[in-house]
Structure 1
Amino acid sequence: MAESTRSSPPNSPPTPSATAIQTTRSWSLGLFLSAVITILIALLLVQLDTFDAAPYPSDELAKKPILLAPRTNPRVLHGSEKIGEGQLLGPEDIVYDPKLGVIYTSCVDGWIKRVTVNDSVVKDWVNTGGRPLGLALGYSGEVYVADAFKGILKITEDGEIEALTEEADGVKFGTADAVVVAKSGVLYFTDASWKYDLHNFVFDVFEGRPYGRLMSYDPSTRQTKVVAHDLYYANGVEMSPEQDFIIFCETPMMRCNRYYIQGEKKGSIDVFIDRLPGMPDNIRYDGEGRFWIAIAAEHTYEWDLARKYPYIRKLLAFLEKYLKRPSVEKNSGVIVVDLDGNRMARYYDPELKFVTTGVKIREHLYIGNLIKPFIIRLNLTQYPATAPPSTE
């Protein structure tokens, strides 16, 4: 009798041979080992890199959660306008001259431009030849400039530039950042980092050491004095309406401090507002009892980890130098506080990054930034910050 044969079901896949299985396993193992070796080499390269990130102060890492504003507008770009599109490249700071009805803004191409408030006409005014950042309107029509590469400048109404100061205590400014002028004529300004220039500012934040300074310049004596040392990326500065204190920011610490220039506390510094929703930049007073503080990047869990672990910042610095650092910035905008630092409102948008200035002029909010070729303008009457719906 013939032996019966068992045929495979139709359309069934062929059974893999032992050799094929072994080949697949070997290939997978080889791929895994290659990935592990690549990662180990990358980590070794990072470890060998000379960049040295420092621990942030333990008391900073132990802070309580971020405090929220009672009213918000989380969609600032909805309904907003683009002022001077294509003509204002990276308008970092904005200052308003009510007498002329114009705003001055500092652009990445070195131009300080004037924009008429009523019809938004843009005109070139003065080119500093550097990178103008902070602006301050003087009391005789002049404009003071904190130029990242040129130091502190004075520009007359006729557009003549005078260099005032570029160093203090024998140390040249690394990044002259923001400036304000008192009625006495004394200028107060920040040097964000004496070690890193503007092109490398991110390494100051990643290193985690306090290279920032707050300084004063007296035009009557031409003396530059360091008011405060050891600040963490000293940024925006603004005068109080009574001229009794100035406010300045420490960007990576997500806080603004207060330096008293008059009264019983003269010469002392305390915290004006802490636990901000992100990293602060410039500050503007609106003449109505409110300070508008730009938030360049929202606070994130990732940044908490980076502040806590220096190696993460060392890794980020390595990526910044040699590859491409992942971008996690979002929800940039402006927070509004009263004269005592109490939160009033917040304006932001998920699509906004690197907002550097918020200025309230009449019923509009003007927003400056580092990367867009225009100023953002929002009608606050039509698009106000509102309280969240009651859950009761």
Structure 2
Amino acid sequence: MNPAGLLAIASLVAALAVLTDVLPLGLPYPAINERAVDVPSHLLPLVPSPLEGDYAPNTRLQGTVRLLQGVVSGPESLVVAHDGKTVIVLDKFGYAKRGSVIESTSGVPRVELEDGVFAYTGPGRPLGAEFDQGGNLVICDSLKGLVMVANGTRRLVVLANRVAEDSAIDPGSEINYANDLDIAKDGTVYFSASTDLRVAFNRDGFYDTFNTYLLDALRGKPAGRLLAYNPKERTAKVLAGGIWYANGVALAKDESFVAVVETTALRVRRHWLKGPQAGQTDVLIDALPGFPDGISRGEDGNFLIALISRPSPILKLMPFRPLRAIAAWIPPKWRPRPKPWGAVIRVSPEGKVVETHFDVEGGFMSGISGVREVGGRMFFGTLENDHIGIYDPNRRL
């Protein structure tokens, strides 16, 4: 484009920026009653760590094997049995499929899905999931809240779609966007609600969680929450709020705290459940080199954090409310897509980087949204791809 064209575009953007401060320009559906607001000053600037030092790139994830390619669609997270032989894959259309991990003499496993569907969760999008002690599959659903596929009957049961009236925080409020969970030994389900915005059904036939994430980020209002569901009382209460897109959830090995990913703020928070800090929330790790998505506890007691993408230009818009309001109206097909990359960071319960796994070009595994470690292997889910991945650090290419 020539300089005159660039100047014209810049002038138009500047004019629109002025107008957004004067006119009540709201955000598009499903955030039609919302406006962009100033980002809380303590969150700015958002500066990711460079890819050096603890985050120096490596090629470890180039040993990842893609499985079920073209068979699954948007398997955001996986549930893996303790023996590593059975997996539950949840796709973006609401289907849960069960498969077996089959070993081979080459050391490269494959996954064979059972015929039919293990469970259908109905309208909405299933995200994080875990089996409870009774063999029930507990799922965070972007539309319905916290749900359960009952063991045996496979009947879908809604556990919580509204906060209890006696909750100290946000009593009686709706749970619009449940995202991820972990289950304690006593059966308590700790789960995240990413935002107070709803997830809309898109033209491609599924509930578009990424679009809601983008609108939540451009709005600039941290509205995510960490909740606890008590299976005896059958109620959910809010433990912490004001999280800028609450995402992955994982309990510490001793259950002294629960970690919750704060995607847009490039960090992971830690909410204390026991000890002198019980009830308080602090930061486990911040300034991550990419947007964190899923988190799980590894077999060594450390945490595995999936970084779904490198930081995008959206971070540069955060101080400028008018520009964020304009950017929210860019049609999805015109939005810049993140470049392929794969990254998983192993972090100690004290917030120290222990180990990193990268595929910086994303040629083998990219867009990792969920990670599980079983039997020394990592199992990867992806929000938008058509496959899952298995990475065995002991297998040499």
TM-score, length-scaled by structure 1: 0.81
Q: What is the CA-CA distance between 1:113 and the residue it aligns to?
A: 1.8
Equivalent-residue separation in structure 2 for 1:282 and 1:266 (angstroms): 24
Name the SS for the 1:289 alignment partner: coil
Cα distance in 2, alignment partners of residues 64 and 108 from structure 1: 31
Equivalent of 1:315 in 320, 326, 335: 326
Structure 2 counterpart of 1:287, one-letter code: E
Is the Cα–Cα contact under 8 Å of residues 72 and 345 in structure 1 kept in the other structure?
no
Distance 1:105 1:59 in 2: 38
Q: 1:143, CA displacement in angstroms?
A: 1.6
Q: Percent identity?
A: 25
- Equivalent positions of 1:288-367 (< 5 A) are 288-299=300-311, 302-320=313-331, 324-352=334-362, 353-367=366-380
Instruction: Identify the match of residue 382 of structure 2 among 355, 362, 369.
Output: 369
List runs of 5+ in structure 1 lacking aligned partners.
1-30, 385-392
Q: Distance in 1 between matches of 2:260 and 2:223?
A: 15
Is the alpha carbon distance of 1:285 and 1:85 closer, same or farther for their aligned partners in structure 2, counting shifts above 3 Å? same
User: Which whole-Å CA distance do the structure 2 matches of 1:338 and 1:114 have between them?
Assistant: 31
Give the alignment partner of residue 120 of structure 1, picking from 77, 99, 111: 111
Alignment match, 1:160: 155
Mean CA deviation greater in 327-336 or 79-88: 327-336
* Bigger mean CA deviation after superposition, 195-204 or 123-132: 195-204
Partner of 2:73: 89
Question: Which whole-Å CA distance do the structure 1 matches of 2:14 and 2:384 have between them?
Answer: 32
Larger radius of gyration: 1
Tell me the amino acid that sits aligned with residue 193 of structure 1: T
8 Å contact kept, 1:108–1:131: yes
Is 2:237 the partner of 1:225?
yes
Task: Mark the runs of 5 or more structure 2 residues left unpaired by the alignment.
Answer: 28-34, 103-109, 164-170, 200-208
> Do residues 50 (structure 1) and 26 (structure 2) align?
yes
1:104 corresponds, among 72, 88, 96, to 88
1:141 and 2:135 are equivalent in the alignment: yes
SS at match of 1:59: helix
Which one-letter code corresponds to 2:373 in the other structure? K
Match of 2:168 in 1: none
8 Å CA contact 1:71–1:344 kept in 2: the answer is no
Deviations 1:70-106, CA, capped at 9 Å, x for gaps: 4766445634211112222111012221258312222
1:252 is matched with: 264
- Please list the CA deviations of residues 214-234 of structure 1 after superposition, one character each: whole Å capped at 9, or x if unmatched: 111111111211111221111
Contact 2:82 2:374 in 1 (8 A): no
Moved more, 108-117 or 302-311: 302-311
Give the SS at the match of 1:215.
Answer: strand
Q: Cα deviation per residue 1:367-391 (whole Å; 9 max; x = unaligned)? A: 211111110222212369xxxxxxx
1:266 matched to 2:292: no
Q: Secondary structure at the match of 1:253?
A: coil
The residue that corresponds to 1:6 in the other structure is: none
The answer to whether the 8 Å contact 1:334/1:357 transfers is no
1:150-229 paired onto structure 2 within 5 Å: 150-158=144-152, 159-168=154-163, 169-197=171-199, 198=209, 199-229=211-241
Distance 1:41 1:336, change over 3 A: same
Residue 180 of structure 1 deviates from its aligned partner by 1.3
Deviation at 1:186, TM superposition (A): 1.3
Q: Give 1:38 shift.
A: 6.0
Letter in 2 for 1:276: L
2:281 is equivalent to residue 281 of structure 1? no
Q: In the superposition, relative to structure 1, how do residues 260 and 376 fare at CA in structure 2: closer, same or farther (>3 Å)?
A: same
1:66 matched to which residue of 2?
A: 49
Q: How far, CA to CA, are the matches of 2:145 and 2:112 in structure 1?
A: 29
| Aligned-partner residue type, residue 223 of structure 2 | Y
> 2:215, 2:60 → 1: CA distance?
30
After TM superposition, the structure 1 stretch with the greater mean CA deviation from structure 2, 267-276 or 53-62, is: 53-62
Task: Output the CA distance in 2 between the equivalents of 1:335 and 1:125.
Answer: 31
Q: Is the 8 A contact 1:237 1:247 kept in 2?
A: yes
2:161–2:176 contact (8 Å) kept in structure 1? no
Q: Aligned Cα RMSD in Å?
A: 2.6
The code of the aligned residue for 2:370 comes to T
CA contact (8 A) 1:171 1:194 kept: no
